[in-house]
Amino acid sequence: MKCIALTWLMSAFLCITLSAQDATDTLSTPGLTNPQETEGLLTPSPAGVRDKLKHKYNILKRFIRAFDEFDTTYITPNRYNWAFMLQNTNSFELYDLSSRKPDQSLSFASRPTAKFGPYIGWRWIFLGYTFDIASYRNGQESRRTEFDLCLYSSMLGCDLIYRRTGDNFRIKNTTGFGPEAEQVEGHQYNGIWIEVTGVNVYYVFNHKHFSYPAAFAQSTVQRKSCGTWQAGLSCTRHAMTFDYDQLPDEITSSPEYPLKEEFMFDKIDYMDYSVSFGYAYNWVFKRNWLLSCSLEPAIGYKKTRTRSSDIIDNNEDGTPDTQRRALGNTHMNCIGRIGLVWNNTKYFGGLSVIVRNYNYRRNQLTISNTFGTLNFYIGLNFHKRKAYR
């Protein structure tokens, strides 16, 4: 719903641009020799110009409204102009690196971060401030930057992702490095830095009966249970800097379990282009209560820009393995959403979980990245719109 305000600004600009273009075309019409005809075209009647602008405005208005058209027997619209909300946001991230022949794997998990703050909103626009509870308690500012914005309308949804993390990872699990390596599980690890930037856009097929905003934006209320298919496109850049020299000696110094060469890379940088198709369901199990679940698997193609020469797709004799390289460029991703909300149009509260999984495979190395957010919120709407007073 927050994207509608931007759409209104764009439509207003487009309306002005089209009007200016029409006026230019009229003034530069060639082949006119009659001054009276020229005068008539240069000075159109005010009523004609007004009708033309009104017609174009109505077309744009209908196009914009189509993004939020829904059946009011299934969905109750927002009746208020303003909203106030308190929200607690908890984020988590997990990285799994694994290699075959021999079977070795390393798992790194970020320490969960918790943020808290107030929000004030006008219709589709919410502004707020949150602070990191751990940083405030310890007096140390984190280098993490996490921006995960989800925009919801009835017909379309959009996810914007910008993440820079790596200063609070720990070794979660080790496999294939011997019993001594298990002693360092849970230790801090500072040799990893993650950058993720991307956009995901998806279309909701049954948008007149199903409402994502009811489950994740609290701007509408789902009145009847309903499901929908959805399809989307995404483009994401992933960059992982890995300093294997900072791994503990218990992992790198065992002669019986040597570190596989696949882990000896400096940086992996790739673009991910994906097409997704999934299903979502809103279950109204009690009046004003809603449980929403969605799963959106995706198949994608990656374009790697890895700088390390150790991660290449070669056969045992050193010749390029074109089949393995082609298979390595395709992968599966997934996005899952769960929302539980109580909303009586005046007061609301609930929780939401959004989890994303991205996978990378190159030669014998596989990397799986899973991150997400858990939100708890409570708020109220106030100042009714004129139509509902």
Structural domain span for residue 248: 69-388
Note whether 178 and 38 are same-domain residues.
no
Q: For 223-322, where are the E strands, in sequence order?
A: 226-242, 267-286, 289-304
Note whether 101 and 210 are same-domain residues.
yes
Note whether 117 and 83 are same-domain residues.
yes
Higher local confidence (pLDDT), 20 or 36? 36
Domain closes at, from 66, 84, 108: 66
- State which of 128-132, 141-145, 248-252 shows the largest mean pLDDT: 248-252
User: Residue 261: what pLDDT?
Assistant: 86
User: pLDDT for 197-228, tens place per residue?
Assistant: 999 999 999 999 999 999 998 889 999 999 99
Query: Which of 4-8, 122-126, 195-199 has the least mean pLDDT?
Result: 4-8
| Cis? peptide before 248, omega within 30° of 0 | no
Note whether 145 and 22 are same-domain residues.
no
User: Residue 328: what pLDDT?
Assistant: 55
User: pLDDT for 333-381, tens place per residue?
Assistant: 999 999 999 999 999 999 999 999 999 887 788 899 999 999 999 999 9
Domain closes at, from 13, 34, 66: 66
Note whether 89 and 34 are same-domain residues.
no
CB distance 115 to 128 below 8 Å: no
User: pLDDT for 311-340, tens place per residue?
Assistant: 444 444 444 444 444 445 788 999 999 999
pLDDT > 90? residue 167: no
- Buried b or exposed e, range 177-194, using 16+ CB within 10 angstroms: beebbeebeeeebeebbb
pLDDT > 50? residue 123: yes
**Average pLDDT over every residue of 181-191:** 92
User: pLDDT for 228-270, tens place per residue?
Assistant: 999 999 999 999 999 999 999 999 888 888 888 888 888 889 9
Note whether 185 and 289 are same-domain residues.
yes
Domain closes at, from 50, 66, 82: 66
CB distance 277 to 118 below 8 Å: no
159-to-143, 144, 149 alpha-carbon distances in Å: 23, 19, 6
Residue 121's pLDDT band, with cuts at 50, 70 and 90, is confident
- Buried b or exposed e, range 6-29, using 16+ CB within 10 angstroms: ebeeebeeebeebeeeeeeeeeee
Sole residue written with tokens 């500012």: 141
Note whether 43 and 152 are same-domain residues.
no
Q: For the chain, where are the E strands, in sequence order?
A: 75-76, 80-99, 104-110, 113-122, 125-128, 131-132, 145-152, 156-165, 169-175, 192-204, 221-222, 226-242, 267-286, 289-304, 330-343, 347-362, 365-384
Note whether 380 and 315 are same-domain residues.
yes
Structure tokens at 32: 């006119």
pLDDT > 90? residue 111: no
The domain total for the chain is: 2
- Angle, alpha carbons 305-104-370 (nearest 5°): 55
Higher local confidence (pLDDT), 279 or 48? 279
User: Residue 113: what pLDDT?
Assistant: 86
pLDDT > 50? residue 23: no
**Average pLDDT over every residue of 146-160:** 88
What is the rounded distance in angstroms from the CA atom of residue 32 to the CA atom of residue 22? 18
User: Residue 96: what pLDDT?
Assistant: 94
User: Residue 330: what pLDDT?
Assistant: 83
Tell me what percent of the residues of the chain surpass a pLDDT of 70.
74
Note whether 160 and 179 are same-domain residues.
yes
User: Residue 47: what pLDDT?
Assistant: 67
pLDDT > 80? residue 134: no
Note whether 74 and 39 are same-domain residues.
no
Note whether 55 and 87 are same-domain residues.
no
Residue 154's pLDDT band, with cuts at 50, 70 and 90, is confident
CB distance 369 to 238 below 8 Å: yes
User: Residue 97: what pLDDT?
Assistant: 93
What CATH number does residue 253 fall under?
2.40.128
Residue 303's pLDDT band, with cuts at 50, 70 and 90, is confident
Structure tokens at 29: 């019409």
Tell me what percent of the residues of the chain surpass a pLDDT of 90.
48
Q: For 15-54, where are the E strands, in sequence order?
A: none
Note whether 57 and 109 are same-domain residues.
no
